Amino acid sequence: STCNVVTKKLIKMTKINGISQVFISCFRYDIKALIGCGSFSRVVRAEHRRTRQPFAIKLLEVKGREGHEACQAELGVLRRVNHSNVIRLAEVFETQHRIYLVLELATGGELLERVVARGTFRERDATKALMMVSSGLHYLHTLGVIHRDLKPENLLYYHPGQDSRLIITDFGLAKDWAVRTLCGTPEYLAPEMLAQRPCSSAVDMWALGVITYILLSGSLPFDQSSRPRLFRVILRGSYSFHGDPWKSVSTLAKSFIDCLLTLEPECRMTAEETLKHPWLVSMAACSSNKNLHRSISRNLQRRASRASSRCPSSGSTPGSRISMRSGSRLGVSDRSQCLKITA
């Protein structure tokens, strides 16, 4: 079976470093399936042998000093957090070359997948999701943690039910205050990150503004065919509420976005302030009751088609996976291309 093949591959991989016994006996988990791969990590779905409780195990590659520091940074954040809207760490296993993070398993799908799967989606539904994200961010920022890669793909529902909590995941780029490193997903980068200024928790709030814009329209506020053009419009803060379905979106909702997509980080809403914003507090009770589902789904589909035509070698088909990004996540090596860009 597929699961057995995955298990054999993982065991073979660990045997290369002579740690198969650690993987099999100490973990106390049965590997069920490979559910995600990254440049330096793999995520598998597993089940605790005694309790049969499902978990996700993230295998982090520790290669060199930088790789070790990155793994320890993510682990350091996960060990500190305990909030219903932030992914929870169950336990950790470390070897010379790998770190195994046993995390709670979120099975409810990504935020945008849930939006598309619904037959209806109104502002009230958006405020419910954003209230949970804002609550998780407020908690993280209180601890002095900046996520730095907040986007819909990193917001997962814990279970498929309507009452599921929404969880912030993937702390691979998380850091403490006043960092300068350029990293993250291009479409969600705050202006101060592109300008190479010291960054605070305000970068997460800018990303929340981008997410809110997407959630209500299915479109990106900053959407260009190349990174230089994209970065220029971000640095200018050039976005609008034109097109469908913005005529059906309330003034309060637009105000919420405007207060987040503010160029100066010190003028941007904090996570605590978002929780007090009239749009979230009222749960859109006084806002538009228009069903935005058709417009959102159509706009998401259009962008998926454009992204697929730009990158035909990716092997994905339009709509196969909902993603609001045109390129890969940025790292430190991408810094030079941003320094040349001016508003």
Residue 21 CA to its chain's centroid (Å): 34
Q: How many CB atoms lie within 10 A of CB 170?
A: 22
Of 125, 149, 170, 204, which residue is the catalytic one? 149
Q: Which of 285, 197, 193, 295 is nearest to 234 (CA)?
A: 193
DSSP category for residue 110? B
Element holding 56 (H helix, E strand) = strand 54-61
* Tokens, residue 281: 């507090």
Q: Which two tokens stand for residue 339?
A: 């320094």
- Evaluate the CA torsion angle 269, 271, 276, 281 in order and state its sign: positive
Residue 155 to residue 130: CA distance in whole angstroms = 10
> Helix (H, G, I), strand (E, B), or coil: what is residue 93?
strand
Q: Which helix (H) or strand (E) holds 99?
A: strand 98-104
Which residues, including other chains, have CB under 8 Å from residue 328's CB and lie 6 or more apart?
Answer: none
Task: Give the C-alpha separation, 205 to 268, whole Å.
Answer: 7
User: Is 58 part of any known ligand binding site?
Assistant: yes
Q: Among the residues of the chain, which ranges form H helices?
A: 2-16, 20-21, 64-80, 111-117, 123-142, 191-194, 202-217, 227-236, 251-260, 271-274, 278-281, 293-310, 335-339
Q: What is the CB-side half-sphere exposure of residue 72 using CA atoms within 13 A?
A: 10
334 is an active site residue: no
Nearest-5° Cα angle at 196, 191 to 199: 70
| Residues annotated in a binding site for ATP | 58
- Residues classed as catalytic: 149
